[in-house]
Amino acid sequence: MPISHKDLWIKIKRESKGKSSRDEVRLLEDYLSDWPEYKGPYQELRKKLERRAAELRKVDRVLASHSASDDPFSVRKRGLAEVALVGLPNVGKTSVLTALTGTHAEVADYPYTTLTPNVGMFSLGGVEFEIVDLPPFPEGALDEVHYAAGLKEACLNAALLCIVVNLEGDFELQLDTLRGALSDMGADRPAVLVGTHVDAGASAEIERLRVLAAGAPVFGFPLGEGEERAVAEALCGLIGRIIVDARDPVSKEEPLAYAVPEGACVLDLAGLIHKDLAKKARRARVWGPSSSFDGQEVGLDHVLSPGDTVEILTR
């Protein structure tokens, strides 16, 4: 009696465990060269293995393009902090990266599309975070994937995590699995949580995710209009910064967002904008939570609050 397609898939996964990408490709090619002619689920499994082999060949090409000292998991740090997108296979991490950064990365409806990091910059005015979309954590042991060492390195190097779960699945189990794996590798980091596949009926799932988040910021994806700022504010809060807006008192153009340390004053903001502005600044006008009334004139030592809009005056 022929082996069932489910048992065959389990057998292939077991034999693939711990193999390098090149060795796994050879294993898959051996199976595909002698594939049974049965139709239905056997041919669906064949397509899955063919896609997997193609993905692994792509990884080999990426790795071959790097020197031995140029690790694809070692990302040059830019912006205020590096944020690692982590999640189980096929939860929508790459879609989150694309939405936040505009980076065009491959998105597909099958697992393990991302096998090396994709990187983009999330910008809100003068506020920038580097977003690194990492290959997925396996649902089982970490050593089941050949990139386990690189995944651990990237998580340890990141200042912040963005934990992504699919609200259409068992997101409590997903979250437990990820937290356990991150804890085992010593990568307990400040995090925001993103629940993907949000629709009009997902409010209960989002509320449940907030409970599970234990105080961490939670967002549903796709994001609503204007929620990019809320994401930026949440990330800034995790590194001890607040977002304020600076407006040119002469041009009156739209204010530009800046991230200043908590407790920063007007002079700190002026120095962040330009060192010459800090030298020339004399006073400021402030609209927002730290002012007693809109347009209040304040000194350079005035302490700013999140959401303030500031005009720095040089005379």
Residues 271 and 230 occupy one common structural domain: no
- CA–CA separation, 28 vs 70, rounded Å? 28
Query: What pLDDT, on a 0 to 100 scale, did the predictor assign at position 27?
Result: 85
Residues 248 and 172 occupy one common structural domain: no
pLDDT in tens, the chain (315 residues): 467 878 888 888 878 776 667 788 888 888 888 787 777 788 888 888 887 787 777 656 555 544 444 566 666 778 899 999 999 988 989 889 988 987 654 444 434 445 678 888 999 988 999 999 998 898 888 877 778 888 888 899 999 999 999 998 899 999 999 999 999 999 888 999 999 887 755 688 888 999 999 899 999 888 888 889 999 999 999 999 999 999 988 887 889 999 999 999 999 999 999 999 999 999 999 999 999 999 999 999 999 999 999 999 998
Query: What pLDDT, on a 0 to 100 scale, did the predictor assign at position 72?
Result: 62
Is 308 in contact with 291 (CB distance < 8 Å)?
yes
Using the CB atoms, write b or e for 168-191: b if 16+ within 10 Å: eeebeebbebbeebbeebebebbb
Residues 226 and 250 occupy one common structural domain: no
Query: What pLDDT, on a 0 to 100 scale, did the predictor assign at position 107?
Result: 44
Total domains, the chain = 3
Residues 225 and 248 occupy one common structural domain: no
Q: Domain limits at 297?
A: 241-313
Residues 135 and 57 occupy one common structural domain: no
Q: Is residue 77 part of a domain?
A: no
* 187-202 tens-digit pLDDT: 888 999 999 887 755 6
Q: pTM to 2 decimals?
A: 0.73
Residues 6+ apart with CB under 8 A from 102: 120
